Amino acid sequence: MDTKKYVSYMVEETKKILAIDSPSGFTKEVAEYVMGEYRKLGYEPKQTVKGGILVALGGKKKEDAVMLEAHIDTLGAMVSEIKANGNLKVTPIGGMNANNAEAENCRIHTRFGKVYEGTLQLDNASVHVNKDYSDTKREFSSMEVVLDEFVKSAEDTEKLEIGVGDFVCFDPRTTVTEKGFIKSRFLDDKLSVGILLGYAKYLKEEKVEPERMVYQHITVYEEVGHGGAASIPEGVTEVISVDMGCVGDGLKCDERQVSICAKDSHGPYNFDVVTGLITAAKEEGLNYAVDVYPYYGSDADVALTAGYDVRHGLIGAGVYASHGYERSHVEGVENTFRLLCAYLK
């Protein structure tokens, strides 16, 4: 198997997916793109009522199937008020942090298809004018989207057909360095969607039939807490979220590794699944880490909360600066892909 070929495909697909705005609740365009990619690979994806994607990859044992989950929805914001000066107050979607979003370029998608550009700034953002600039706490209540339009009043902005409820999407600023670092907003979890597409490509091109039936579910509401709460096919006994692996103080994982999560904020992952993932990583000689995530929840957690009687696990390429300007590495992608291949062989 030419692993590098598949990793290159995963990174390129990730870049394309990152370029499509898709905060939770505004995922139609990116879902259509990903469904098209599955079709190009020779699969027959189905769209769930929620707007997610479900695809069967094949496998021998259909009564003990496994489902891999990743999400294409991201953090973002929504217009909550048009200010008297024509600028926009916004409310965050998911865990978007105002400290990480300040001075970021964004796009405003109106309800009926128009797109405008702007920047999220602190109110009265000029240091030479605002003596309280440094001391002001960065919260969305003290910030505004400054439109790149000639507006001076709420009426001017309303004439552009911008209104409350329009989606605000932040620029991902994606780049891949010569050393293989992948830097972008929203690697959580579009990087994993790229990895799952690459795994699907590998099965098809190498004519590999896993021991168990494998499904992939690309969810669209993970960042607001209910992405994995539905659409698990009959026969699935195991759900594995392929999401970002945490990198930070107190954890062993770095961006070049695949992270295997033993426990997150919801509790421990299934003992046998975690042990099986660790065993596969060891046998394959992968660069991996086992960690406990202190502030985290996954689609696999949500599946159990929704009442599904399944085993669950969580893996992912190491990602630093989660929910901010994130960083991973092509080696983390490769190790995650190879763990999927080894565990599901």
Domains in the chain and their CATH numbers? Answer: 3-74+186-343 (3.40.630.10), 76-170 (2.40.30.40)
- Going by C-alpha positions, the residue among 78, 69, 65, 137 that lies closest to residue 106 is 78
- Selecting among 13, 37, 69, 222, the annotated active-site residue is 222
The confidence score (pLDDT) of residue 132 equals 96
The confidence score (pLDDT) of residue 255 equals 98
Instruction: Print pLDDT tens along the chain (345 aa).
Output: 899 999 999 999 999 999 999 999 999 999 999 999 999 999 999 999 999 999 999 999 889 999 999 999 999 999 999 999 999 999 999 999 999 999 999 999 999 999 999 999 999 999 999 999 999 999 999 999 999 999 999 999 999 999 999 999 999 999 999 999 999 999 999 999 999 999 999 999 999 999 999 999 999 999 999 999 999 999 999 999 999 999 999 999 999 999 999 999 999 999 999 999 999 999 999 999 999 999 999 999 999 999 999 999 999 999 999 999 999 999 999 999 999 999 999
222 is catalytic: yes
Rounded to two decimals, the pTM is 0.98
Distance CA(89)–CA(83), nearest Å, equals 7
Residue 69 contacts by C-beta under 8 Å, 6 or more apart in sequence? 216, 217, 218, 219, 227, 228, 239, 240, 241, 242, 298, 299, 300, 303
